[in-house]
Structure 1
Amino acid sequence: MKPVGWFQVGWSKEIPNGGVKPMRYFGEDLVAFRSETGELSIMNAHCHHLGAHLGYGGKVVGNELACPYHGWRWNGEGKNTHIPYQEHTVNKRLKTWHSSEQHGCIFLWHDPTGAAPRWSLPHMFDSFRDYLDMDEEEFYPIYPHGARIWSKEEVHPQITFENSVDSMHFRYVHDSPLDPELLEQDYHQDGSVFRTLFGFRSIKHNNEITMTFDTRTSGVGASFNVFKGSYNYRVLFSATPVDDSCSDLFNTIWWPRKPGDQGDMPEDIQARVDKEILTTVDEDLLVWRHQTYVNRPLLAKQDVRAFKALRKWQAGFYDLPPVE
């Protein structure tokens, strides 16, 4: 449960300017806060004074976070900047974590060696221009109606992302009437990104492919998916380790706006998104919660190349050497 990479830990609108949110990931208590000017910081949660958790009752003062116990202040770099009842501060920092906000989602960089980010994330819009050129403004806001979290599930992230090469589970897990097929030489590997392109054929249209979806998985933490054709929506799925036994699972949906609609997601689309897309994770979880990881699985002939390639690629995100 200690892979290297970027992992989602929330949505930007959960933490407004001056907001504070407690978190727990990778076995550590964390606190995220946004300064009054809008800058997001994530750091270890317990004040070095007497160990109070800064995420429960802590208050943002300007660009700093004040401890709820005795008012000691810490800036976004983890430095103690103010002790109300003495002139001098302490020369000890709270550990800070690299974070990134993209398209309304918050990501945390994890590396057991303490190295700075070794690669960047795909972008839900810029990374897919060659496949389907649409801008964020053409979709309804993702939060809160297109976002859902499953907390503390006893699921390893790596198991969830094997779906990215598994064409046959759609029929049995999601009751899909047709099996998608891998297209364009099955898959592509590009450093930290594993890309697959699936196609769905339609019986109503002479068995022609009427919808495809492009999946770009970043490490073992996040999967960016763009659907094109019969529907043109986007899905970000993330699995983030909480500790050595469980993960938080995040699902985020971008659904195209109705022509001329500039408001939030309408109720009829909210219901459709929840029923048809967000709940697919519930269906997967029926398997994932009770699944054991088979190191050398028996594979059907059509699965061998893609599964072996994915697992070999995934193995590269564990036990990375320190960056010199």
Structure 2
Amino acid sequence: MNQLINVKPAVEAAEYRYARGWHCLGEAKDYRDGQLHTLNIFGTRLLAFADEQGAISILDAYCPHMGADLSQGELVNGKVVCPFHHWAFDASGRCAEIPYCKRIPPKAKTRKWLTCEENNLLFVWNNPEGKPPAEGVEIPHLPEIDSDEWDHDWHLDLMMIDTNPRELVDNLVDAQHFGPVHGTPTKYFRNTFKEHIGTQLFMGDSERLGGDLIADSAYYGPATHFTRMRAEYDGLLVESILLNCHVPVGPNQFELRFGVLVKKIPGWTEEQNKQLALDYVNQNRTSFYQDVDIWSHKRRVDMPVLAEGDGPIYQLREWYQQFFMDEADVPAMHKELREFIVVDNR
């Protein structure tokens, strides 16, 4: 599903720095189709492709020769062939062949981006300083992805949203929108922040997603959010994992991917479990799109007027800001665990 959500621009492109962190590009299998994939992200154009062994590479898309868009070329024997002069680039980004020249200039190469695959998803690393991830900065492995007890199809939706990604990340601490927007008043709400991880624990009752709903979630860096959920749904205990991730296109636009995994009900047939998964995924989509609709009509507020019970919005933004500065400048306070219990009506 593709949608375009418009919100008033909030950040000027000339002054914008893209967040340091792992960014999800969807399911890895989609890139193993023998095609070149254009990626308009981080204010530039990249291309993704898989070699003959299935290893996925991401390169800067503009040819260092005369600037042609390599993503508009062809993939031949695992090499990207430029549409302009047929220079061929291998998975490392180096030019491997020039049809009219035997000597390859040493500077004939394009940037290769760091990637990883985890939980059947493809991620690309962005760091304006050019450094690899620090120790421990990684996407966690979900053991459920290896279990036959779970449906392994993420049921991903892709949306293009015209606003700054911070609007999305704010939801991590917004304790009081669950009732008005989702019809799910908050019973318990807690946030923690430490290093590159920000968490939320939510408890409440949802007509759409089930009673005694528990949602335990975390951002791993600025852009990848997993939520483990469990609830009594239609007389059944349903467990699921939500993926909510984004990649910036420009300062005020991002690709948003939303997906759900659902645990199978023991004793049910594959067809019954498939139908349950689809039903629950659709309920989650409806709930999530209620947030999307809010973003489509609101504007950015840098200094919100807050009331008691609103949640640690300023503390979240302080945590989020670390991904937009040099690592050496990140305040030491982010190494310490900070906890905020906002609501406790259990």
Instruction: Give the Å deviation of 1:234.
Output: 0.3
RMSD: 2.7
User: 1:235/1:180 Cα in 2 relative to 1: closer, same or farther (>3 Å)?
Assistant: farther
Partner in structure 2 of residue 292 of structure 1: 299
Partner in structure 2 of residue 164 of structure 1: 172
Instruction: Give the Å deviation of 1:229.
Output: 4.1
User: 1:315/1:78 Cα in 2 relative to 1: closer, same or farther (>3 Å)?
Assistant: same
Give 1:82-231 correspondences, 5 Å limit.
82-92=97-107, 93-118=109-134, 119-123=136-140, 125-126=142-143, 135-143=146-154, 146-151=155-160, 153-176=161-184, 178-182=185-189, 186-201=190-205, 210-230=212-232, 231=238
Relative to the length of structure 1, the TM-score reads: 0.83
Match 2:323 to one of 299, 317, 320: 317
User: 1:319/1:71 Cα in 2 relative to 1: closer, same or farther (>3 Å)?
Assistant: same
CA contact (8 A) 2:156 2:259 kept: yes
The question of 1:307 aligning with 2:313 is answered yes
Instruction: Give the Å deviation of 1:76.
Output: 1.9
CA contact (8 A) 1:223 1:238 kept: yes
User: 1:43/1:312 Cα in 2 relative to 1: closer, same or farther (>3 Å)?
Assistant: same
> Per-residue CA shift, 1:120-141, capped at 9, x if unaligned?
3342515xxxxxx784443223
Partner in structure 2 of residue 31 of structure 1: 47
Structure 2: segments with no counterpart, 5+ residues: 1-15, 233-237, 330-346
**Counterpart secondary structure, 2:292:** helix
| 1:156 partner amino acid | N
User: 1:134/1:211 Cα in 2 relative to 1: closer, same or farther (>3 Å)?
Assistant: farther
User: 1:170/1:202 Cα in 2 relative to 1: closer, same or farther (>3 Å)?
Assistant: closer
**Stretches (4+) displaced over 4 A:** 133-136, 260-265
User: 1:110/1:266 Cα in 2 relative to 1: closer, same or farther (>3 Å)?
Assistant: same
Match 1:58 to one of 74, 77, 99: 74
CA contact (8 A) 1:221 1:240 kept: yes
The question of 1:11 aligning with 2:38 is answered no
User: 1:294/1:192 Cα in 2 relative to 1: closer, same or farther (>3 Å)?
Assistant: same
Instruction: Give the Å deviation of 1:201.
Output: 4.9
| 1:141 partner amino acid | H
Higher relative CO (CA 8 A, sep ≥ 6), structure 1 or 2? 2
| 2:137 partner amino acid | S
Length, aligned pairs only: 302
Instruction: Give the Å deviation of 1:101.
Output: 1.3
Instruction: Give the Å deviation of 1:296.
Output: 2.1
User: 1:150/1:180 Cα in 2 relative to 1: closer, same or farther (>3 Å)?
Assistant: farther
Relative to the length of structure 2, the TM-score reads: 0.79
CA contact (8 A) 1:31 1:44 kept: yes
% identical equivalent positions: 25
CA contact (8 A) 2:245 2:256 kept: yes
| 2:55 partner amino acid | E
